[in-house]
Amino acid sequence: MRWKPTYRTGRQAGFTLIEMMVVVLIISLAAALSIPAYSRVLRTSRRAALVADARELYSALMRYHADRGSFPTEDTPPEKRFDNQTLSPLSTGGYFNNVTGFTSKLMYDRLLIYVAPDVGARDSQFLTIFRSKVDPSILVFVAHTNILLTADGKWLDGVYLTSGGHLVPADAGD
């Protein structure tokens, strides 16, 4: 049998280099447009989770106050002192069970500030402040106090975020 060269007479199946480059370009553009949107959604969901945990902390502190008549103290004696990392006595008293999950979301794995000032009565108010580990620009206030007032002159009572240098209720930022 004799060998004969074959010649292409019609279009052969497959893609040309130009077609492949166009497909890669389209996929690259789609990825470039979707990554910022994904990042924004991820940041928003992390903030919402942190605010939900802050609301649970607020509820735990209010339940503690309802049972004991005061908020946990931030000063001596050590066994009754509020711990910014373990959230004791809230965690040991069964008021706040998800301490590790909550503190793992915080910068330095702890609350930055907790105070229970003696205004009106011993440990009758509280203020706690913390930052998100994944977005340190988020400063969260959980409070029941008249030491700091809202822009309209009301007590801080609930969960607040800083936005543009102003303190706003967490619901306003959602």
Q: Give 83-119 pLDDT, tens digit per residue.
A: 889 998 899 889 998 899 999 999 999 999 999 888 7
Q: What is the pLDDT of residue 174?
A: 46
18, part of any domain: no
12, part of any domain: no
9, part of any domain: no
Number of domains in the chain: 1
3-class DSSP assignment, residue 153:
coil
> What string of DSSP letters covers 50-105?
HHHHHHHHHHHHHHHHHHHSSPPBSSSSGGGBPPTTT-TTTTTTTS---HHHHHTT
What are 123-133's pLDDT values in tens digits? 889 999 999 98
Report yes or no on whether pTM surpasses 0.95: no
Range of the domain at 69: 51-173
Return the percentage of the chain with pLDDT > 70, whole number: 89
130, part of any domain: yes
3-class DSSP assignment, residue 126:
strand
CA 43 to chain centroid, in Å, comes to 8
Q: Which two tokens stand for residue 105?
A: 């979301």
What phi, psi does 25 have (nearest 5°)? -65, -45
What are 15-41's pLDDT values in tens digits? 888 989 999 999 999 988 888 888 888
Q: What is the pLDDT of residue 138?
A: 83
28, part of any domain: no
List the one residue out of 58, 44, 48, 53 whose CA is nearest residue 156.
58
38, part of any domain: no
133, part of any domain: yes
Are 80 and 92 within 8 A, CB to CB?
Answer: no
82, part of any domain: yes
